[in-house]
């Protein structure tokens, strides 16, 4: 018995690393899983059906149920076929985990337009594509009186939420996915759909491109706990996919190694108001803006401040 018994789940980009760990964990927890992976290179391009097939075999060897899908998430109709694979094979869809992605790191002054477009297309558009098609299905189910208890789990990264040099494309995509997560949670809650995100970590093929001396292993190949196992985030995905996470939605978790945290969204800091000598509201003067921020926010200078009310 697992916390996902009876659920049907899709995991995109499930051929290696983080996505593979998630697919195996969801199956271990009782879900029937659509293992989606194009089987391409880390930078995009190419394809190999054996990648998804291998994960299906791993799941079946562990006593689970799974089927492979080889569609490209960045293709609108391909994403629709991923969703249809779950419905046609297992009769329904309860969980969508968006993990598929590619990496093309370069400093912004060296990055080609195609490098930017390709990463945005797979990560951000690919996530939107699958959420769109899944939401159409769940909305129709709700209207037919079969209110879903469904969950979407998107994948974000510190590169987007905290910043990382050389990843303007990847970081922008991941920050966009965080925003998409919050917006979709607002739109889909009435139809019984929760939308959250998780920021994973570990030694993946993507990390291996930047750190050539690391050993990249698949999650199930680790025989004991290792902080850099890319499968460490999978239990968080399983919980977000389960009914135990009702009514958590619009949230972004970070789960790296044994460290679990909640990302706080953009929020306003201390507020300041421009007023005239009589205390009436007035339009800000650029000089006053600079003086206020330098003194009270950035602590870079300490001039006398006139007509400023905190």
Q: Catalytic: which of 174, 185, 233, 245?
A: 174
- What is the domain range of residue 279? 273-309
278 in a structural domain: yes
Q: Are residues 96 and 211 in the same domain?
A: yes
If pLDDT is split at 50, 70 and 90, which confidence band does 299 have?
confident
Q: Are residues 208 and 171 in the same domain?
A: yes
Each residue's pLDDT tens digit, 153-206: 999 999 999 999 999 999 999 999 999 999 999 999 999 999 999 999 987 767
Each residue's pLDDT tens digit, 124-162: 999 999 999 999 999 999 999 999 999 999 999 999 999
Q: Are residues 221 and 294 in the same domain?
A: no
If pLDDT is split at 50, 70 and 90, which confidence band does 217 have?
confident
268 in a structural domain: no
C-beta neighbour count of 170 within 10 angstroms: 25
Tell me, yes or no, if 174 is annotated catalytic.
yes
Each residue's pLDDT tens digit, 64-98: 999 999 999 999 999 999 999 999 999 999 999 99
Tell me, yes or no, if 80 is annotated catalytic.
no
3 in a structural domain: no
Mean pLDDT across the chain? 93
Whether pLDDT at 209 is above 80: no
Tell me, yes or no, if 157 is annotated catalytic.
yes
Q: Are residues 255 and 281 in the same domain?
A: no
100 in a structural domain: yes
Q: Are residues 193 and 150 in the same domain?
A: yes
Q: Catalytic: which of 157, 168, 185, 245?
A: 157
Q: Are residues 239 and 183 in the same domain?
A: yes
Q: Are residues 79 and 170 in the same domain?
A: yes
Q: Are residues 92 and 25 in the same domain?
A: yes
The total domain count for the chain is 2
Q: Quick one: average pLDDT of 22-48? A: 95
Q: Catalytic: which of 135, 168, 170, 245?
A: 170
Residue 208, H or E segment: helix 205-210
| CATH code of residue 207 | 3.40.50.720
- Which whole-number Å values give the CA distances from 44 to 122, 133, 275, in the listed order? 9, 23, 55
**DSSP assignment letter at 293:** I
Q: Are residues 201 and 295 in the same domain?
A: no
Which residues, other chains included, contact 144 with Cβ-Cβ below 8 Å and sequence gap of 6+?
A: none
């Amino acid at each position: 018995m697992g916390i996902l018994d009876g659920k049907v789940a899709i995991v995109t980009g499930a051929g290696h690393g983080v996505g593979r760990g998630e697919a195996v964990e969801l199956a271990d927890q009782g879900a029937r899983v659509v293992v989606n992976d194009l089987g391409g290179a880390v930078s995009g391009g190419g394809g190999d059906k054996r990648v998804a097939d291998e994960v299906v075999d791993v799941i079946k060897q562990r006593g689970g149920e799974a089927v492979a899908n080889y569609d490209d998430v960045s293709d609108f109709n391909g994403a629709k076929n991923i969703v249809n694979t779950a419905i046609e094979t297992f009769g329904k869809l309860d969980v969508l985990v968006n993990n598929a992605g590619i990496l093309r790191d370069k400093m912004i002054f060296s990055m080609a337009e195609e490098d930017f477009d390709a990463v945005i297309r797979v990560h951000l558009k690919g996530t939107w594509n699958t959420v769109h098609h899944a939401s159409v299905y769940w909305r129709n189910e709700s209207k037919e009186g079969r209110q879903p208890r469904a969950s979407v789990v998107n994948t974000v990264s510190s590169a987007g939420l905290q910043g990382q040099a050389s990843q303007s494309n990847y970081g922008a995509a991941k920050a966009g996915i965080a925003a998409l997560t919050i917006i979709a949670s607002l739109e889909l809650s009435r139809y019984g759909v929760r939308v959250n995100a998780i920021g994973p970590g570990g030694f993946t093929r993507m990390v291996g491109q930047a750190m050539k001396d690391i050993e990249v292993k698949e999650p199930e190949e680790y025989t004991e706990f290792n902080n850099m196992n890319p499968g460490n985030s999978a239990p968080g995905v399983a919980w977000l996919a389960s009914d135990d996470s009702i009514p958590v939605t619009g949230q972004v978790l970070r789960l790296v190694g044994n460290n679990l945290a909640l990302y706080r969204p953009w929020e306003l800091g201390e507020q300041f108001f421009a007023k005239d000598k009589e205390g009436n509201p007035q339009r800000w003067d650029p000089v006053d803006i600079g003086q206020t921020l330098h003194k009270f926010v950035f602590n870079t200078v300490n001039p006398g401040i006139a007509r400023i009310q905190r």
